[in-house]
A and B are shown apart, each in its own frame.
Chain A
Amino acid sequence: MGKLSANRGVYMQRKERLWVRLKKDIKVNYLLYLLVLPGLLFYIIFCYVPMPGVLMAFEDYQARSGIFGSTWVGLKHFTRFFNSYYFWVLIKNTLRISIYNLVVGFPIPIIFALMLNYLNHKRLKKTVQMVSYAPHFISAVVICGMITMFFNKDTGIINQVLERFGGEATNFLAKPELFDDIYVWSGIWQEMGWSAIIYVAALAGVDPELHEAAIMDGATKIQRMIHIDIPSIKSTIIMLLILQFGSVMSVGFEKAYFLTNSMNKSAANIISTYVYEVGLIDRDFGFSTAVGLFNSLINMILLITVNKISRKVADEGLF
């Protein structure tokens, strides 16, 4: 009992001291506080004020009564979502696209960086690198416009070339089974150069003495790649892999939104487009927020799990 109150005393004292210190600091450094103020206000208004809004996921939101006055309905929106026809469709589509993207899209920039690293022609190396970043800066609208135009059944260049070689014109974008391929591979085209930058930088930092020793021992380039380069950039790879896992459930909105049409909708419906449709088109605020909240919870759980696994297996993690 006495110990507790003593602790409390120390705590109060500390708190008071902090307050005094803060007051003093504000007096001395008031200009720094002034500088920080606009940015801080932004975070409070646009990040922290909306946060209690997640409560909407548990209530029948009425604009008149506000977030704290609307009727509490518990997990109603969640059970409705879990029991709806869309639930499994959305989960399947989202997971299928993002796992495909992870399995193919993650190793390719690493391989690309490794190959660039062993390219003997300096000029070609520079050119390939510079050209490979360029697609990263093209907007999703333009990329998807190019895709719809190139793959058009009658006028698309891909089909025209196919036909010339005796193939048959296909309406690629109308086929749900091809949606994933188009989505993932166009993403790889757009991002592989950009994602490779970080690996190229990491490879540049590999100790050249290791390579010299390996060459003396008669190691081939492929052997050096496997035994020197990959182990040296392992921590970079793991860090980026964990980050990727953290966003497995958030497949980009814009591309899916642009590439969806009435024919491929069964494969293109993903969680982020659904949240938008239900929320802003149908104005079902509570339900939409519930779906969004469910999504970010899964992401967070995945991030923490993968981080833990990587801590155990590779002794490396983000946090």
Chain B
Amino acid sequence: MKGIVKSRVEKSYSDTIFDVVNLGVMCLLLIIFIWPMWFVLIASFSDPNQLWLGNVIFWPKGFTLEAYEKLLEYTDIWIGYKNTILYTVVGTLVNLILTVTLAYPLSRKDFLPRKLIMIMLVITMYFSGGLIPTYLVVKNLGMVNSFWAMIIPGAISTYNVLVVRTYFVNSIPNELHEAAKLDGANNIQFFGKIALPLAKPVVAVVGLYYAVGHWNDYYTALIYLYDKEKFPLTCFLKNLIIDTSTAMQGSFGSSASEMESMIRLAQSLKYSTIIVAVIPMLIVYPFVQKFFVKGVMIGSIKG
């Protein structure tokens, strides 16, 4: 009897310690996740001199919009912004059309070459020609340094096709299709009027995946583009926030104190640039994050 009581006490003791540690770790993690993003935000609104001296840590010091005003003068950034929006909108649209039209027939059990095409897709997940051969194909099609180079070569992600196909298979019973057939609906009508509306959630998820991919894409531009006018935002971001030297260009020839304040402003400018670059994500994020989670779930139930 005594033994049991003792072990109960020990147990609750151990669980209490666990709960306290767990709570502590989670709070710490919360700070670790939030602080870097928070810091960028407050740094962009703080007085460049205070930022330079390291006085900005948890709260903004000397609130100012100087860095944002300066950013307006950088026309490059806005060219990039416009391009990225275009690539994201057109690219995601193309992605979705191709993905959904490919995924739907593959979900139909009565579609004869279904297996063959599936094998064809899965092979590409494990084997590809590689960087140079793909580049040469794009080049031979005359797409290098064109708008379409950012859209077409990566127009379909096999993983997403499989996600959409799985969703179609699980959400549209075969009887529904049989019934529609008896009512005289053809395949396109069934696809457009019944299958597509049913697939709205998965189309949203996959569309978000694609859109984020376009928004953050740098690699494609690095390989296929060389005209500045066509660069997406990420290319200009690299110049401005990673290659330190360029941000200070134009400051030569001014007096020492002017140069000093230029350099300080240039630093604040980097923070405001990051904020402007991630703002669309920040605004959209709270609304869509539950969709992202759903997407991972759908994707994990393969087969």
Query: Is A313 engaged at the interface, CB distance under 8 Å to the other chain?
Result: no
Minimum CB distance partner of B123 in chain A: A47
A222 and B18: CB pair below 8 A? yes
- Is the CB–CB distance between B33 and A193 below 8 Å? yes
* Complex alpha-carbon distance, A193 and B26, angstroms: 12
Interface-forming stretch among A5-13, A91-99, A134-142?
A: A134-142
User: Given the complex, which residues of A lie within 8 Å of B8, measured CB to CB?
Assistant: 218
Bound CA–CA A77/B73 (angstroms): 49
Q: Flag whether B194 is at the interface (Cβ < 8 A).
A: no
**Residues B188 and A31 in contact, CB atoms below 8 Å apart:** yes
Q: Kindly name the residue among B32, B161, B219, B285 whose own CB sees the greatest number of chain A CB atoms within 10 A.
A: B219
How far is it, in angstroms, between the C-alpha of A128 and the C-alpha of B243 when the chains are bound? 33
Q: How far is the CA of A288 from the CA of B153 in the complex (A)?
A: 20
Q: Across the interface, do B132 and A222 meet the contact criterion of CB distance under 8 Å?
A: no
Which residues of B (126-146) have their CB < 8 Å from a CB of A? 126-138, 141
Q: Is B23 an interface residue (CB 8 A)?
A: yes
Q: Is the CB of A157 within 8 A of B57?
A: yes
Cβ-defined contact, B296 with A201, below 8 A:
yes
Q: Is the CB of A285 within 8 A of B132?
A: yes
Q: Choose among A43, A141, A189 the residue that contacts B237 (Cβ–Cβ < 8 A).
A: A141
Q: How far is the CA of A115 from the CA of B132 in the complex (A)?
A: 45
* Chain B 33-48 near chain A by CB (<8 Å), digits 1 or 0: 1101101100100000
Provide the bound-state CA to CA distance between A219 and B273, in Å: 52
User: Given the complex of chains A and B, what is the CA–CA distance between A77 and B102 in angstroms?
Assistant: 39
Answer whether A50 and B136 are a contact pair too, CB < 8 Å, given A29-B187, A119-B26, A258-B242: yes
Considering the chains assembled together, what is the distance between the CA atoms of A126 and B302 in angstroms? 27
Does any Cβ of A come within 8 Å of B246's Cβ? Answer: no
Q: Name the interface size band of chain B.
A: 35 or more
**A40 close to B102 (CB less than 8 A):** yes
Contact B101–A35 (Cβ < 8 Å): yes
Q: How many A-B residue pairs have CB under 8 A?
A: 252
Does B176 reach chain A (CB closer than 8 Å)?
Answer: no
Q: How far does the alpha carbon of A45 sit from the alpha carbon of B241 in the complex, in Å? A: 37
C-alpha gap A132/B270 in the complex (Å): 24
- A53 pairs with B136, CB closer than 8 A: yes
A279 to B105, alpha carbons, bound, how many Å? 38
- B113 contacts which chain A residues (CB < 8 A)? 22
Q: Which chain A residue shows the least CB distance to B299?
A: A198
Interface-side segment among B62-70, B197-205, B210-218, B248-256: B210-218
- Contact (Cβ within 8 A) A135 B33: yes
Q: State how many angstroms separate the Cβ of B54 from the closest Cβ of chain A.
A: 3
Q: Does residue B156 face the partner (Cβ distance < 8 Å to A)?
A: yes
A215 to chain B, nearest CB (A): 9
In contact, A43 and B121 (Cβ under 8 angstroms): yes
A221 near B112 with CB under 8 A, answer no
Shortest Cβ distance from A286 into B: residue: B132
Looking at the complex, which one of A139, A155, A222, A300 makes contact with B216 (CB distance below 8 Å)?
A139
- Tell me whether B30 is interfacial, beta carbon within 8 Å: yes
Inter-chain contacts of B102 with A (CB < 8 A): 35-36, 38-40
**Chain A residues, CB < 8 A from B98:** 38-39, 42
**Measured CA separation A121–B22 after assembly (Å):** 11
Q: Interface centre among A139, A279, A300, by most B CB within 10 Å?
A: A139
Contact of A128 with B29 at beta-carbon distance under 8 Å, contacts A42-B156, A50-B128, A160-B54 already known: yes
- Contact with B101, one of A39, A45, A285 (Cβ below 8 angstroms): A39
A36-B111, A40-B102, A50-B130 known, 7 other contacts, Cβ within 8 Å: A31-B186, A42-B156, A43-B121, A125-B26, A137-B281, A280-B135, A285-B136
Contacts A/B (CB < 8 Å), 14 sampled: A25-B111, A38-B98, A42-B155, A51-B128, A124-B27, A127-B30, A133-B293, A141-B237, A145-B242, A149-B271, A201-B296, A222-B18, A258-B242, A280-B135
